[in-house]
A = this chain, B = another copy of it.
Amino acid sequence: MQGTPQPTSPPDDAYTRTDRTVPTRSADRATYDRETVHAILDEGYVCHLGFVRDGAPVVLPTLYGRVGERLYLHGSTGSRPLRMAGRPDPGLPVCVTVTHVDGLVLARSAFHHSINYRSVVVHGTAHQVTDPEEKRSALDALVDHVVPGRSADSRPANAKELAATAVLRLDLGEVSAKLRTGGVNDEPEDLSLPHWAGVVPVARHYGAPLPDAALAPETGLPDYLAAL
């Protein structure tokens, strides 16, 4: 197995590398730095949840939140994986991926076109959250991931709503991030070509909040929304 990365004791600030978290290509873009991984995860709220059903892959978008070294995944689109992870709960092998696109890299050559991005891939076994208190704090984390500060400014879920909500828990154990930053990497002989080259920044943009028609007029826009 010479040349194959082996699991080693991680420093506190990095995840342990494993065979499946070390990419076979562009390994220089991979990082296991815990702070980088957390920052990428915390910037998003929609992940792509992969699992295996009848031997075939399934990928569904769903909401997530992070609490320490744990992800919580919303079950609204996941009744199938959630049933599979049900009682008795052997756990469901999953892969959860979060991707942010930061820029379009337009090179002079078609071949060197690329995307600036940051992504995190988590491999592991997901389990249903059954403890009501853990489920409640997981839902708070989900809501606060979408809009920080929002969970404290909404009616908490009641027992019936909690029971109707499915949440999966996934520990951050086998984790990697991958990033591409910077400008174009054209071949030296292409630099004089007449094609425009450079990077077009891409970002998430929030529009002006649209109040619900039934909102009482005196209900002002909360600071945490104005800050978006």
Binding site for B on A (CB under 8 A): 20, 23-26, 45-46, 48-53, 55-61, 63, 76-77, 79-80, 93-97, 99, 101, 104, 106-111, 113-115, 117, 119, 121, 123, 139-140, 142-143, 146-147, 150-151, 153-158, 161, 164-165, 178, 183-184, 186, 190-216, 219-222, 225, 228
A228 with B210: CB separation less than 8 A: no
A151 with B212: CB separation less than 8 A: no
Q: In this complex, what residue of B is CB-closest to A160?
A: B111
Partner of A193, one of B155, B190, B200, B207: B155
What is the CB-to-nearest-CB distance from A151 to chain B, in angstroms, rounded to a whole number?
Answer: 6
CB neighbours of A219 from chain B (8 A): 194-196
- Knowing A110-B157, A205-B202 touch, does A95 contact B50 (C-beta < 8 A)? yes
If over half of A's interface residues share one DSSP class (helix, strand or loop), that class is named, otherwise mixed; here it is mixed
Partner of A216, one of B192, B206, B228: B192
A76 with B25: CB separation less than 8 A: yes
Q: How far is the CA of A88 from the CA of B153 in the complex (A)?
A: 58
A-B contact pairs, 5 of them (CB 8 A): A48-B50, A50-B57, A113-B150, A199-B210, A200-B206
- Knowing A184-B212, A198-B212, A212-B184 touch, does A79 contact B20 (C-beta < 8 A)? no
A211 with B198: CB separation less than 8 A: yes
Q: In this complex, what residue of B is CB-closest to A101?
A: B46
CB neighbours of A60 from chain B (8 A): 97, 121
CB neighbours of A178 from chain B (8 A): 77
Q: In this complex, what residue of B is CB-closest to A213?
A: B183
CB neighbours of A207 from chain B (8 A): 200-203
CB neighbours of A183 from chain B (8 A): 210, 212-213
B111 with A157: CB separation less than 8 A: yes
B55 with A52: CB separation less than 8 A: yes
CB neighbours of A161 from chain B (8 A): 109-111
Q: In this complex, what residue of B is CB-closest to A119?
A: B61
Further 4 A-B residue pairs, CB within 8 A, beyond A58-B95, A101-B204:
A56-B93, A61-B119, A111-B164, A113-B146
